[in-house]
Amino acid sequence: MAHSKGQIMTKETTKTSFQTFENRGGPAHTAQRITQLRAELKKKKLNGFIIPRADEHLNEYVSAHDERLLWLTGFSGSAGIAIILETKAAIFIDGRYTLQVQSEVDQNIITPQAITQTRPSHWLKQHVKKGMSIGIDPKLLSVANFETLNEALEQKQARLVSMPNNPIDTIWQTQPQKPSSPVIGHPKKYTGQEPAEKIKQIQEVLKNKGADAFIATAPESVCWLFNIRGQDVPHTPIMLAHAIIHARAKPEVFINSDRLNTRAKDHITCTAKLSAPENFESSLKALGAKFKKVLIDPDRTNSAIYQTLRASRSEIIRGQDPISLPKAKKNKAEIEGMKSAHERDGVAITRFLYWLSQVPKDQPITEIEAAQSLENFRYQTGALKDLSFETISGAGPNGAIVHYRVSEKTNRQLKQGELYLVDSGAQYQDGTTDITRTLAIGEPKPGMIKHYTMVLKAHINLTTAFFPKGSRGVDLDPFARAPLWQAGLDYNHGTGHGVGSFLSVHEGPQSISRRSTVPLEPGMILSNEPGYYKQGAYGIRLENLILVKDPEDITGGEHPMMSFETLTLAPFDKNLIDISLLSKSELKWLNTYHRSVWKTLSKHLKGSEKAWLKTATAALKL
């Protein structure tokens, strides 16, 4: 194990690398590639083309094959959409990417637009003329987005044209292959439930909704239902496959059987019909031929599927993916797995924190070195399957960029007197983790301590909340914000997202935010991650995962109340806590939490690491 800067940088100790730090994107090729695309569009008699960052499954993470927006424009963010017309071009991004897009695309060629101010549909209405044909790849747009764009064009008497072959794929000579990773069966000790039971449950939901079938387009849903996992995209252990769940017949799963290991094949063939991906379309058409009522989730279904269903006369029912809710409510085996994963991950985090504490003042490490070291400690658990996302490793002002990605270009030293924010997670077979800690490098300044303590209060206030059955994310979000609002502070992101079980680190339907109207239910796992960001100076975010517990009676109370159990195990940086700002009950929570961190993790540690944890988790006293 590596304690000093020199050691951890050698290839021998860094055994694995689920994250790269190269300068992705950039404006070098924007002009040339957009020219190429325009020539291709001309051949196809199109006046424009729309390029979202998306794959056929509308996933958050996409495979290299689907990085068309990055290839074309140079923009490497995780969300965006470009519209290329004959003489004009725009790229629409959200507030996270305002600065990044400016450095990554050639602004002489393509104009960045803040999507909250100018929707792509509005921009189209301004720039499109009567009679124009604007192309899309219908597989890369959700039904909901397709309809918005289509309506905008119809208003201008222009047309949205669905292209069977994506023109980018035609001109992109070096486009990587579609992924086709091995698919493995996920054992029952982790899933707690056989596919047959799960399928039955979903079929009941379909019958209640009056649907004959559901088109499962989200790979996480297919993975959960059949207890299988893949490696088609980074950081989420999924394979890109569709399924049709029939209410009264065996499901159909569309995947090449040679990708499946024995257990995966078992899981599917015992309960479903295995079919090659190229049969998906004819199966969709078959539904229409029988006038079936078909449930789709308009936010997760691409418009090619929708068009096929409509053309073949299916009756469409729109609704939320019925698999997402049971998937979000973790069963006993999944909860136990998540707890084991967090114990393992907590040990890796603790070793990393100790390692950081030992970095010599005069030999500061960099953000990349810190991220590599953390990955290495996780790798040394022997159970790491992937990172659950690219580690956000931000020192000083980089910590204030909420979705910061460290690259060779942005890499910064962890300097004395600055804060370091590290938001990271791991994929283990038994569970997915996501944790953020903010640390003082050297002596922190009073403002840092005040802001850290306020964020900690926000975190504690949510973690210790009691709430009745039926409470939704929107009802819980103010618990975290109230202490910050009281001090004139706030953060410009949601408070918590759902987390999958060896699946996506961002999962619905639940979340904790001002928009979330899904009731929280026992077994759901969410993040609790309030923050504070001082532009150009530092960022603070404190994140643990929390499990929604069953309603419990409260002494003297009348309504059983739900509450949270904290899963994440790692100390908070006591150098950044001003206990005079904490209430008695907040201090009590902190000490109790630290005691449980010590109790659970210390048995896995030895020597100076163990001694460090003892100090780090020792009770604070008023």
Return d(Cα 201, Cα 182) in angstroms, integer: 28
**CB 481, min distance to a copy of itself, A:** 8
Q: Does 536 bind a copy of itself (CB under 8 A)?
A: no
**CB 123, min distance to a copy of itself, A:** 21
**CB 466, min distance to a copy of itself, A:** 5
Return d(Cα 39, Cα 247) in angstroms, integer: 47
Question: Cα angle vertex 517, ends 516, 520, to 5°?
Answer: 90
Q: Contact with a copy of itself (CB under 8 A): which of 39, 196, 557, 611?
A: 557
Return d(Cα 378, Cα 353) in angstroms, integer: 12
Nearest residue (CB) to a copy of itself, 261 versus 583: 583
Q: Does 465 bind a copy of itself (CB under 8 A)?
A: yes
Q: Give the residue from 42, 38, 117, 113 showing the smallest Cα distance to 82.
A: 113
Look at the block and give the residue holding tokens 């790491």.
384
Return d(Cα 97, Cα 77) in angstroms, integer: 7
Q: Contact with a copy of itself (CB under 8 A): which of 15, 122, 189, 559?
A: 559
**CB 489, min distance to a copy of itself, A:** 6
Taking CA atoms, 344 is separated from 9, 337, 377, 475, 499, in Å, by 23, 11, 10, 32, 17
Phi, psi of 453 (to 5 degrees): -65, -35
**CB 211, min distance to a copy of itself, A:** 19
Residue 199 CA to chain centroid, in angstroms?
25
Q: Looking at 152-160, 195-203, 252-260, 548-556, which segment touches a copy of itself (CB under 8 A)?
A: 548-556
Q: Does 583 bind a copy of itself (CB under 8 A)?
A: yes
**CB 521, min distance to a copy of itself, A:** 17
Nearest residue (CB) to a copy of itself, 156 versus 450: 450
Residue 251 contacts residue 273 (beta carbons within 8 Å): yes
SS3 215: strand
Taking CA atoms, 582 is separated from 58, 396, 455, 458, in Å, by 43, 25, 11, 11
Strand-pairing partners, residue 418, are 441
**CB 411, min distance to a copy of itself, A:** 29
Nearest residue (CB) to a copy of itself, 117 versus 262: 117
Residue 496 contacts residue 482 (beta carbons within 8 Å): no
Return d(Cα 429, Cα 619) in angstroms, integer: 34
CB neighbour list of residue 210: distance below 8 Å, 6 or more residues apart: 293, 317
**CB 1, min distance to a copy of itself, A:** 42
Q: Contact with a copy of itself (CB under 8 A): which of 176, 187, 442, 468?
A: 468
Question: Cα angle vertex 546, ends 541, 547, to 5°?
Answer: 165
Q: Does 553 bind a copy of itself (CB under 8 A)?
A: yes
Peptide bond into 509 cis (omega under 30): yes
Nearest residue (CB) to a copy of itself, 104 versus 477: 477
Size of the site for a copy of itself (CB under 8 A): 30
Nearest residue (CB) to a copy of itself, 249 versus 482: 482
Q: Where in 476-515 is the site for a copy of itself (CB under 8 A)?
A: 476-479, 482, 485-490, 514
Q: Contact with a copy of itself (CB under 8 A): which of 64, 274, 317, 474?
A: 474
Nearest residue (CB) to a copy of itself, 60 versus 586: 586
**CB 555, min distance to a copy of itself, A:** 8
Nearest residue (CB) to a copy of itself, 218 versus 562: 562
Q: Give the residue from 103, 79, 93, 91 showing the smallest Cα distance to 24.
A: 103
Write the Ramachandran bin of 134: left for phi over 0, alpha for psi from -120 to 50, otherwise beta: beta
Q: Does 558 bind a copy of itself (CB under 8 A)?
A: yes
Site string for a copy of itself, 400-439 (x = CB under 8 A): ----------------------------------------
Nearest residue (CB) to a copy of itself, 86 versus 565: 565
Q: Looking at 56-64, 429-437, 538-546, 547-555, which segment touches a copy of itself (CB under 8 A)?
A: 547-555
Return d(Cα 202, Cα 246) in angstroms, integer: 9
**CB 472, min distance to a copy of itself, A:** 8
Q: Is the dihedral angle over the CA atoms 305, 67, 300, 117 positive or is it negative?
A: negative
Nearest residue (CB) to a copy of itself, 270 versus 482: 482
Phi, psi of 338 (to 5 degrees): -60, -40
**CB 441, min distance to a copy of itself, A:** 23
> Which stretches does DSSP call E strand in 226-352?
228-229, 242-246, 252-254, 273-275, 293-296, 315-318
Nearest residue (CB) to a copy of itself, 415 versus 450: 450
Torsion of CA 242, 245, 249, 252, to 10 degrees: 10
**CB 564, min distance to a copy of itself, A:** 13
Phi, psi of 392 (to 5 degrees): -90, 110
Q: Does 561 bind a copy of itself (CB under 8 A)?
A: yes
**CB 516, min distance to a copy of itself, A:** 11
Return d(Cα 36, Cα 19) in angstroms, integer: 31
Nearest residue (CB) to a copy of itself, 411 versus 513: 513
Nearest residue (CB) to a copy of itself, 171 versus 474: 474
**CB 442, min distance to a copy of itself, A:** 23
Nearest residue (CB) to a copy of itself, 583 versus 596: 583
Q: Contact with a copy of itself (CB under 8 A): which of 40, 94, 475, 578?
A: 475
Q: Does 466 bind a copy of itself (CB under 8 A)?
A: yes
Binding site for a copy of itself (CB under 8 A): 450, 465-468, 472, 474-479, 482, 485-490, 514, 553-561, 583
